[in-house]
Structure 1
Amino acid sequence: MDNAQVAKRIKILCSEKGVSVAKMLNESHVTKGIIHDLEVRDRTPSTATLLKIANYFDCSVDYLLGRTNNSNSHRS
């Protein structure tokens, strides 16, 4: 998994939905520093974190991980 790619996909989804990253993280109950951790620290997010974000965007974890380019595929 490329953590920077995960961060990029999250930012794209926020932009498409018209919400800030901060608002999305707050509403999905994810730590504010996750994007920094992904991009700078190359930390791998937990399964629980990925599920919260995928649920927020109604997309699959596979999309967030870059395993598919179809954001509308069934959730993992």
Structure 2
Amino acid sequence: MYFRRIEELRIDNDKTQQEIADYLNCQREVYRRYEKGTREIPISYVILLAKYYNCSVDYILGLSNRKQIK
């Protein structure tokens, strides 16, 4: 589920895969695989993405449908 969420968040924020890969300090192809669900994303990246998008880790992981942190 997380792979759909990280793609959705990226698109909603008008970011490219390359921009997010640069933020995470990884290659674009590696990040693309996270979005497609063919590679497991490290929890440290999930935390960084939650901070970047100002949402909860639970939202990214599909444990909550509440996007914004209160």
Report the TM-score range of the alignment, normalised by the length of the smaller protein: 0.7 to 0.9
In the alignment, is the contact (CA less than 8 A) between 1:59 and 1:71 conserved in 2?
yes
Question: Greater CA deviation, 55-64 or 21-30?
Answer: 21-30
**TM-score where L is the length of structure 2:** 0.76
Structure 1 match to 2:16:
20
Q: Distance in 1 between the 2:61 and 2:37 partners?
A: 17
Name the % identity: 20
Is residue 39 of structure 1 aligned with residue 46 of structure 2? no
**TM-score where L is the length of structure 1:** 0.71
Opposite residue 39 of structure 1, the aligned amino acid is K
For structure 1, the residue ranges without an aligned partner over 5 or more in a row are none
For structure 2, the residue ranges without an aligned partner over 5 or more in a row are none
Q: How many correspondences in the alignment?
A: 69
Is residue 69 of structure 1 aligned with residue 65 of structure 2? yes
Q: Which has the higher helix share?
A: 2
Structure 1 runs of 4+ aligned residues shifted over 6 Å read: none
CA RMSD of aligned residues (A): 2.1
